[in-house]
Structure 1
């Protein structure tokens, strides 16, 4: 938890079209470091599925069990339900017990052997409103990998990121580009390990702050208020997503009715800080625009 982190840093930017209206770059964010995007990664996973569907390689309404028979999930659990968090799967799998690195134990091999066969038993009938599930996106990641015989990272690059011109991204960034958050003892705090298994598709992407802003702008360019934005949260004309891993928080929002983009990334701060910074930026901009 970030209460144990000694270092604090925030990067925030509000852009209207080509004009930067407000910007703040904290000490750990200077020099274009690679940053954890956390659950914003889910929008990339959802976009992979959407691109495969557009190419006729995937039916979004296909039961997941047709792609991963070992799940034994009912036909009501479709690819689309995983994207939209309406599958009825819980937030995380059983056995996630390491508070320092909770996803590290779930390699692809262990996930397939120990988690996949339990999915049907752990699922419950979905509620009327979406229930956020990291596990659901890990299952989606495995389904996409199995369908294409490509790794999630290969699919992300080839189907989504490179076509959008977003290149400064990785799942294992060079050590010299990772910002160091230290605990109160002065020792560096290691980030979570998410690239070794299917939870990479739920929260394992790293990228530059500018890259996060460009990604969101490019991914949502031309989408109207009524358009389906796979993987994104929707609030009126806003398409947004956030994320939080061990010491990193992220938030990005695009207003489809304008060219406004709000991007925030935090290091060593509490969960939800990035969202609150973004809200303050937006409120201040509305007040100053009057």
Structure 2
């Protein structure tokens, strides 16, 4: 080792001073360029809004990653506290798979209206379907145990390649409209009907509800949920327009998603203001289809599932929750399901970078120490549950 040091020193001292200076300058310029174009992990950016103590807790719970902007709401009984950095309670975000809780509510509401039954089969909605897929029930889809694949089957190599490329250029990978979702059911190879998260399943469920109601999914969300609850900042977008923020987990810009015919799985945009309305209405049972949140069967070792909604079994208090993720956003919403009308805690976090925000659950609930280690090994991760998509 000393000989190598000596040789290195000798070689360096033999180099002409100008050459050494040019090499050092080139190295410095290269380092500056790389630093300029490479996103580095950093805290949330922008002006603070709302409750400073809430934001301090949120930022501490989420840790140091490629963050940009965040908005949060904490619910204690009927009191709502908002906070944000670079955003406030009226800033719009993609909520990803929290959309599924709206689709599940529409399912419960449609049962109450007599439009369908829980065990209505896909073949009962679309009589042209045949084979095993026609026997799949809507409730099995709502409870993520239908055997439908995680994603829509490719209609051809062109669709497959475009979807793969979308991941690399950070654009919406979901192609096709509502008719494409229905026609793709003929290409499905069903798996065993065991608990397995399926974005495609919820796209099918939402389009089935639209079919039996004679309306499109966007109209169902507006007429049956957002308008009755006064959620004026919650929409199913029909274009990519309107969002100027959204970043990948590594800090690169990501395009907005609209998801086309897969909108019922994850397309809704909303704010913490409106999400606080949704959380309280579901918690209190006053939301249309609120019974969708009630747990019905085990999903894994640490969660039970209702229709879309998960309920933990290894936290104090337990939380009924859903998370979400798109190409440039992450979201989390959870509340105490045993709190009763007008009482109990809840948390909402919306961020415009693709880093999970599920750790915000710790602000209103504590992992049970006896089960924490087991749960970390056996539970399905947030990325797997959202399919790294929505």
**TM exceeds 0.5?**
yes
More deviation, 225-234/102-111: 225-234
- Stretches of structure 2 that go unaligned for 5 or more consecutive residues are 1-38, 42-64, 155-162, 297-305, 368-390
* 8 A Cα contact 1:240 1:254, kept in partner: yes
Matches of 2:278 and 2:120 in 1, distance apart?
A: 28
The equivalent of 2:331 in structure 1 is: 250
Per-residue deviation, 1:82: 0.7
Matches of 1:173 and 1:145 in 2, distance apart?
A: 16
Which of structure 1's runs of 4+ aligned residues deviate more than 4 A?
2-7, 173-177, 223-229
Matches of residues 129-148 of structure 1 in structure 2 within 5 Å?
A: 130-148=195-213
Matches of residues 18-37 of structure 1 in structure 2 within 5 Å?
A: 18-20=78-80, 24-27=83-86, 29-30=87-88, 32-37=90-95
Matches of 2:121 and 2:241 in 1, distance apart?
A: 43
Residues 180-233 of structure 1: CA deviation (Å, up to 9, x unaligned): 23689x985311231x32x11000111111111211211231479966653211
The equivalent of 1:14 in structure 2 is: 74
Per-residue deviation, 1:283: 4.5
Matches of 1:3 and 1:248 in 2, distance apart?
A: 18
Alignment partner for residue 55 of structure 1, among 106, 110, 113? 113
Matches of 2:193 and 2:201 in 1, distance apart?
A: 12
1:117 has 2:180 as partner:
no
Residues 76-126 of structure 1: CA deviation (Å, up to 9, x unaligned): 51010010011001110233433133544222233334x12112xx21122
Which structure has more RCO (C-alpha within 8 Å, separation ≥ 6)? 1
**SS state of the match for residue 262, structure 1?**
strand
More deviation, 60-69/203-212: 60-69
Matches of residues 19-98 of structure 1 in structure 2 within 5 Å?
A: 19-20=79-80, 24-27=83-86, 29-30=87-88, 32-74=90-132, 76-95=135-154, 96-97=163-164, 98=166
Alignment partner for residue 320 of structure 2, among 232, 236, 239? 239
Residues 50-86 of structure 1: CA deviation (Å, up to 9, x unaligned): 1111111111111111112344353651010010011
* 8 A Cα contact 1:212 1:263, kept in partner: yes
The equivalent of 1:277 in structure 2 is: 360
Query: How many pairs align?
Result: 271
1:205 has 2:263 as partner:
no
Higher helix share: 2
Matches of 2:125 and 2:185 in 1, distance apart?
A: 12
Residues 137-182 of structure 1: CA deviation (Å, up to 9, x unaligned): 1111221121121000111112222223322211228988524236
* 8 A Cα contact 2:247 2:329, kept in partner: no
**SS state of the match for residue 175, structure 2?**
coil
The equivalent of 1:288 in structure 2 is: none
Matches of 1:73 and 1:155 in 2, distance apart?
A: 29
Matches of 2:330 and 2:227 in 1, distance apart?
A: 24
* 8 A Cα contact 1:164 1:219, kept in partner: no
- Stretches of structure 1 that go unaligned for 5 or more consecutive residues are 285-290
**SS state of the match for residue 169, structure 1?**
coil
Matches of 1:257 and 1:187 in 2, distance apart?
A: 40
TM-score by length of 2: 0.62
**SS state of the match for residue 115, structure 2?**
coil
* 8 A Cα contact 1:41 1:203, kept in partner: yes
Per-residue deviation, 1:10: 2.2
In 2 relative to 1, CA 135–86 (structure 1 residues): closer, same or farther, beyond 3 Å? same
* 8 A Cα contact 2:90 2:233, kept in partner: no
Aligned-residue RMSD, C-alpha: 3.2
* 8 A Cα contact 1:64 1:79, kept in partner: yes
Matches of 1:133 and 1:161 in 2, distance apart?
A: 25
In 2 relative to 1, CA 227–116 (structure 1 residues): closer, same or farther, beyond 3 Å? closer
